[in-house]
Structure 1
Amino acid sequence: MVWMVNQQIARVKRSHIWGGAFLCLLFLMLATPKIPLSSHHHLFADMRNFFGVPNTLNVITIFPFLIVGVIGFVLCFQGSFFNISFQGEIWGWALFYAGIAAVAFGSAYYHLKPDDDRVMWDTLPTMIAFSSLFSGFLVERVGMRIGLSCLIALVSVAFLSMDYARTFNDFRLCMTFQLIPCIAIPGLTLLFPPKYTHSKYWLYAAGVHLVAKFEAVADRKIYRANHYIISGHSLEHLCSAMVPILLTVMLMYRNTKFQRLGDYRDRP
């Protein structure tokens, strides 16, 4: 009975969600000024070099992404550590962890020599990870078909946003894309019941991600406040790495609450 009610809710609200998302994006593009990428963007508070490594702390604080990404990717295919119901979910979560691991390489490559040419290698893997993460959330809350369809659409939008940013020197789409987990996940949590237990970890992850963004904005203020030990940008890296850690804990301990009608239809 629960999955039947949820399926009816999904059919009614699905078009409203996408319509609202499109209107919000349109409003942001019309109401906000262009955000060009300038040389100031690459000047971080802490640019110290240790042991011959440029921007050392900004580089090494990316390392946790590699550890979590590789471990999570391997566990996705083990079958006993994560509670994942269908093959489609496995590939979605595997892409998420692959994106997290790619963030480590791309971000480290960028921070070794920050410039306009390298910034895409820092941004694009993050956007791909967000795409698969949001897809996994939709699989859990709405259904596997729409979740996997959104995965294809969002990955395409990620590449288009990056191309738009490089062509027009306007990073509004990329910045908006990275705020999706903070806004959409808490909102959809109220609209759709979870398929699994431990669903509060989605909110924990969204909150931690939001804190990380504030740390990035307050890069220099945080650096001065702790007497030039660690900058806000380095703390952003460490805080952001907590997002896949929290979601990994969720995948390990959650249990299925109920099956949806769409899930039965999508079963191979």
Structure 2
Amino acid sequence: MHLAADYSHRGGGRLGLGPFAAAVLRTDNRRRAIAGGAVLASALLLVATPRLRHSPALHLFADMRNLLGVPNTLNVLTAYPLLLAGVPGLILCLFGSGCFGISLRWEALGWFLFYAGNVGAAFGSAYYHLKPDDDRLIWDRLPMMMSASSLLSILVIERVDERAGLSCLISLLSLLLVSSACERILDDMRLWVVLNLVPCVAIPAMLFLFPPKYTHSRFWFLATGFYLLARFEGLADRKVYSVNRYFISGHSLEHLCFAMVTLILTVMLSFRNIKIARDS
């Protein structure tokens, strides 16, 4: 956009845009249209979908074995790799930001919330799986959704605009609280389902549509692959459990894949540098 503005200034107005600057504007408008269409599609999906009531079956996981006196043992234990992956990143965000390739203030906030969500999910998920019920469910869901929302907002900050990313972060975190209230008070899970779906679609789309600001962007693709795999394994909990001959369930593997996402992104932050100079 800055380049287009420079062309416009030198050419005496919009009609003076060169071919390259005009192409930049067209690409920018196309991307904004796609983003607006995605928001509209999410809203329409929310309105068109019938009310989704909460079901007690949500607490019935494929692997509910009690090993060594620990209920739902593997679902509990596999939550803690999130702690091992999240704590180093959280510490570096707080005290050693110079070790990470972060150049914008609100980007740093997004990464802090991402790592904090992972650490919270380690304890919250373990707490929930020790005795799965409605009262404990929020401690499992909110931290992970906070991490996913922060991750999407970080991409918006990095590849689109810092203010837009901050607005996205505030909006998504607010909607997470609203979705929890809707589920508990109105017995309606539609908003929660849509908020789970949005990062799965928006993050891969942004990786392809918007150029990276930093080097080592291939780590984003690797992390996104593990993120989508984690979501798939969570949905196919029983099928995955039966395929591997009842060794480990899809839900336990989901925890491990989320930990891999955090580890991959931490490595990326440690190595990357600014690739494209852009004003915040």
TM-score, normalized by the shorter chain, greater than 0.5: yes
2:49 paired with 1:32:
yes
Matched, 1:42 2:95: no
Take 2:263 and 2:81, find their aligned partners in 1: how far apart are those partners?
A: 10
What are the residue-to-residue correspondences of 1:45-124 with 2, within 5 Å? 45-76=62-93, 77-124=95-142
Please list, as runs of the form range in 1=range in 2, the aligned pairs for 1:159-174 lying within 5 A after superposition: 159-174=177-192
1-side partners of 2:119 and 2:253: how far apart? 18
C-alpha change, 1:58 and 1:23, in structure 2 (3 Å) is same
Contact 1:215 1:233 (C-alpha < 8 Å) held by counterparts: yes
State the secondary structure of the residue aligned to 2:110.
helix
Are 1:181 and 2:199 an aligned pair? yes
1:244 alignment partner AA: T
Q: Which amino acid counterpart does residue 187 of structure 1 have in structure 2?
A: A
Q: Are the equivalent residues in 2 in contact too, given 1:83–1:252 (CA < 8 A)? A: yes
2:146 corresponds to which residue? 128
Alpha-carbon separation, structure 1, partners of 2:217 and 2:57: 39
Q: Which AA in structure 1 matches 2:48?
A: A
The answer as to 2:241 corresponding to 1:223 is yes
**Which deviates the most, 186-195 or 37-46?**
186-195
CA shift, 1:18, in A, is 4.7
Shift of 1:184: 0.7
TM-superposed CA distance for 1:17, in Å, is 4.4
Post-superposition CA distance 1:121-147 (Å, at most 9, x none): 111111211121111111110122221
Do the aligned residues in 2 keep the contact of 1:2 with 1:258 (CA within 8 Å)?
no
Q: Kindly name which structure, 1 or 2, has the bigger radius of gyration based on alpha carbons.
A: 2
Which 4+ residue blocks in structure 1 deviate beyond 4 angstroms? 1-11
The amino acid of 2:147's aligned partner reads A
Q: Is the 8 A contact 2:46 2:194 kept in 1?
A: no
Match of 2:272 among 254, 257, 262: 254
The sequence identity of aligned pairs, in percent, is 53
> 2:205 aligned with 1:195, yes or no?
no
Residue aligning to 1:12: 29
Kept in 2, the 8 Å contact 1:35–1:172? The answer is yes
1:9–1:113 CA distance, 2 compared to 1 (3 A): farther
- TM-score, with normalisation over the residues of structure 2? 0.86
**Post-superposition CA distance 1:44-64 (Å, at most 9, x none):** 111111222111100000001
Hey, what's the Cα distance between the residues in 1 that align with 2:175 and 2:61? 28
Distance between the aligned counterparts of 1:216 and 1:61, measured in 2?
A: 13
Q: Distance in 2 between matches of 1:145 and 1:91?
A: 13
TM-superposed CA distance for 1:3, in Å, is 6.6
The answer to whether the Cα contact below 8 Å between 2:31 and 2:209 also exists between their aligned partners in 1 is no
* Other structure's SS at 1:118 match: helix
* Paired amino acid for 2:46: M
Residues 51 and 189, structure 2, Cα contact 8 Å, conserved in 1:
yes
Size of the aligned set, in residue pairs, is 262
Separation in 1, partners of 2:244, 2:176: 36
Q: Distance in 1 between matches of 2:151 and 2:207?
A: 14
Q: Which has the higher contact order (CA 8 A, sep 6+)?
A: 1
Instruction: Output the amino acid matched with 1:128.
Output: M
- 1:182/1:210 contact within 8 Å kept: yes
